[in-house]
Structure 1
């Protein structure tokens, strides 16, 4: 492999990250005092890498603070019981101590995957941060020409470090997303691919072999969002043009359907980063598919008459049991647990 021109950064060891997470747990626990603060100070001074590990672990802690209590199905009456912050901080810190080893530096080439219900944060060698959602697999390959990431399945959010001389390209299926310094989400399902731009700008185009200049697709002035006509030779290869997205826009490719451009709620699109699933008049069958992404125990809608029921609310990703009980209570369904399945049965009451 050709040498990489960008400066490399030595990874922080999992051991130091684990130690840092323990100190964060102590700082946010009820027993925090002068002894703990002085112990942390001594630990930070013991080795230069300790400060770096603590900084990275603190960023993950800050992200985890965004986790909220589950807001159940909207038709239900609910009184929220707020736990004391000290207890909540200790619980979140313990969670951080368990998952911090999943946050690491990835250099040059690597394959990273998450299991069903698992999420992970990566820091690539150029400082780009990648957040992997449940059941996701990526391949990272940096060289002197470009920073390349292939999303083979699942969903990932990319906060790209700005390097105008070093393009950042994400490939998913037969499409690629090119950015210099921006934030965007790519989701690849079996028959659907969606690119959502959080901020900055990206260019979405087909993955094609190099073609002569006269048949390359073109883009209108910055800010235009439309499919640009291409020559017959290019259409014969993939049949698609290039799209330049503006912040807040989502481009969706569905098998056998027309390419769709819309502007969804960014909060809803990135809710998984906070461990949440936000549903807004989502048909029950589609809501079940979304919830099933995060749990090995699969939800099943037994009665076709219930499949189109509108679901609204905010749910904890992976909490399929709470979701099923909330829907059942709202629509008069019955929850049946059998093995690795949670079945919503019965005729709905509307």
Structure 2
């Protein structure tokens, strides 16, 4: 879905079926029988798969559109369930896509984007170009979506890490939403990392305004970093941060410079299928240093007992737990 104005020209019955399956498969009560029926529908006609992929793009976009109250500038709360809003937004996007005039009005009001791009990496890095001319380098295990609205360019970083080289446009701000905050620029080079509820922004060149839940923002200069977590009223500026370490992933390196395990685990866990856990706070205070290949972090985990006073165990869910080896009692 990457075009100047949202339009569609498809068979109505096929579109209805694709919309039905898209909604059902995203509901928690979708049954095994329904999934099997969906498989049969896909196999019945090659066009069904194409239509379903188009509907998935619309579905993904619906999640990123402004809520109705936001769209009309209403400041009060909107009491709607997540499922009800999702269905309404989804229906609205289909309606706007189907009617060029209504779609144009939505674009003019800033409610509907005219460009949509979605990128996802797993075990490899990727460099992509956005429709506005900006480039983004994606780290492993990263999910990113770009929407171009009339009044702003908007990126949503669901998880992972990305380095942005933003095409300058002073009248069309570039906003990266991650977690419960955002970074706003007009043209610059910066890095955004999101792991669980933690987001870190590192500025290389230009200027970036970082804000969190409380909407209080800090403007970063080159070499500065800010971090925020869910519930933070304002971001925290990081002092004495190592600029090079934060960007080492672009060369496939993970740099741990005399960090406690508590500090290092978020950086390590982003490369693992199942996160490492600490047995206790004492284990978390053990320090680790080194430079590692981001593709071989699993091997790093297996080697930790060889370089640190720890041993590994497994939790009930299969996660690896780091346990401190207690020092022998002092001789009297």
Give the structure-1-normalised TM-score: 0.53
| Counterpart position of 2:266 | 289
SS in 2 for 1:135: coil
Pairing 1:250–2:225 present = yes
Pairing 1:269–2:254 present = no
Higher RCO, Cα 8 Å, sep 6+: 1
| Counterpart position of 2:137 | 131
In the TM superposition, what are the counterparts of 1:81-120 in structure 2 within 5 Å? Answer: 108-115=115-122, 117-120=123-126
SS in 2 for 1:126: coil
Instruction: Check 1:166–1:2 CA distance in 2 against 1; reply closer, same or farther (3 A cut).
Output: farther
SS in 2 for 1:306: helix
In the TM superposition, what are the counterparts of 1:48-197 in structure 2 within 5 Å? Answer: 108-115=115-122, 117-197=123-203
Pairing 1:329–2:306 present = yes
Instruction: Check 1:171–1:345 CA distance in 2 against 1; reply closer, same or farther (3 A cut).
Output: closer
Instruction: Check 1:175–1:334 CA distance in 2 against 1; reply closer, same or farther (3 A cut).
Output: closer
CA drift at 1:342: 4.8
d(CA) in 1 for partners of 2:174, 2:292: 33
SS in 2 for 1:111: strand
Instruction: Check 1:142–1:293 CA distance in 2 against 1; reply closer, same or farther (3 A cut).
Output: same
CA drift at 1:300: 4.4
CA drift at 1:330: 2.3
| Counterpart position of 2:216 | 241
8 Å Cα contact 1:3/1:143 also seen in 2: no
Instruction: Check 1:147–1:331 CA distance in 2 against 1; reply closer, same or farther (3 A cut).
Output: closer
CA displacement 1:39-62 (0-9 Å, x = unmatched): xxxxxxxxxxxxxxxxxxxxxxxx
| Counterpart position of 1:260 | 236
CA displacement 1:42-85 (0-9 Å, x = unmatched): xxxxxxxxxxxxxxxxxxxxxxxxxxxxxxxxxxxxxxxxxxxx
CA displacement 1:152-198 (0-9 Å, x = unmatched): 22221111122334322222244332222211112233322222211
8 Å Cα contact 2:272/2:298 also seen in 1: no
Pairing 1:309–2:315 present = no
SS in 1 for 2:169: coil
| Counterpart position of 1:15 | none
Instruction: Check 1:272–1:143 CA distance in 2 against 1; reply closer, same or farther (3 A cut).
Output: same
d(CA) in 1 for partners of 2:117, 2:298: 36
8 Å Cα contact 2:173/2:185 also seen in 1: yes
Cα RMSD (Å): 3.2
Structure 2 unaligned residues grouped into runs of 5+: 6-113
Segment drifting more, 311-320 vs 252-261:
252-261
Relative to total residues, which structure has the larger helix share, 1 or 2? 2
Aligned length in residues:
216
8 Å Cα contact 1:324/1:344 also seen in 2: no
Instruction: Check 1:321–1:195 CA distance in 2 against 1; reply closer, same or farther (3 A cut).
Output: closer
CA drift at 1:205: 3.9
CA drift at 1:349: 5.7
Among 189, 203, 217, the residue aligned to 2:209: 203
8 Å Cα contact 2:139/2:162 also seen in 1: yes
CA drift at 1:133: 2.0
CA drift at 1:279: 0.9
Segment drifting more, 244-253 vs 133-142:
133-142
SS in 2 for 1:270: helix
